[in-house]
Amino acid sequence: MKWILFIVFAVAMTACSTLKVSYDFDGQADYSKYKSYTFTEEALKLPIQQLNRDRILKAIETEMAAKGFTKSEENPDAVIDLFVKAEEKMDATATTTSPYGYGGGYGRYGYAGGFSTTHIDYNKYVEGTLFINLVDKAAQKIVWQGRATRTLDEDASAEKREQNINYAVKQIFTKYPPVKKK
């Protein structure tokens, strides 16, 4: 019984830590015209811990270069704006036990009658979402947005944080440029 509960808990924890990625885009925008970019002042001052902010900016620069963009402070075609959201969440797991176990006890149908106990385990965690907005500089409007959400591991090593950030940013950019469905 304990092994089954452990497996259920392990699967639930893995499910909580998976990366959820989503996208939205302007179907009328001509993505071929975006060749250069810069970051907004707000992105450069993103209100998170500086080391993580630097990791995010570096990961975005890497992905933008892989997509053929050039970073330009002079006259960029696009501006990258960032937003982060952290939300504290809680889940609960209830476990009901009986001193007779399943099917034990007395009676023709294995009824154990009234001797069960229920234990509830609460798990608090922080779920973080990174939003990356590609803004058409001339039109001053968002033309593409990618989002990634994942349970944050506040005890992760510096190396693991960098791996997590690089992976999340890479996954966000897998759908850029967007493919317009016909």
50 close to 93: Cβ distance less than 8 angstroms = no
**Residue 118: both structure tokens together:** 């229920």
Q: List own/partner pairs for 105-111 with CB under 8 A and 24 or more apart.
A: none
Distance CA 157, CA 163 (A): 10
Cis amide linkage into residue 177, ω under 30° from 0 = yes
Digitized pLDDT (tens) for each residue of the chain, 182 residues in all: 333 323 333 333 334 469 999 999 999 999 999 999 999 999 999 999 999 999 999 999 999 999 999 999 999 999 999 999 988 878 888 888 776 555 545 555 555 555 678 888 888 878 999 999 999 999 999 999 999 999 888 889 999 999 999 999 999 999 999 877 66
Q: Which domains does the chain have, with CATH numbers?
A: 20-96+123-175 (3.30.160.670)
Record the pTM: 0.74
Owner of token pair 């699967």: 11
Centroid of chain to Cα 99:
42
Q: Give yes or no for a contact between 115 and 102, defined as CB atoms under 8 angstroms apart.
A: no
Distance between CA atoms of 27 and 34, rounded to whole angstroms?
15
User: Can you tell me the distance from the alpha carbon of 7 to that of 148, in angstroms, rounded to the nearest whole number?
Assistant: 27
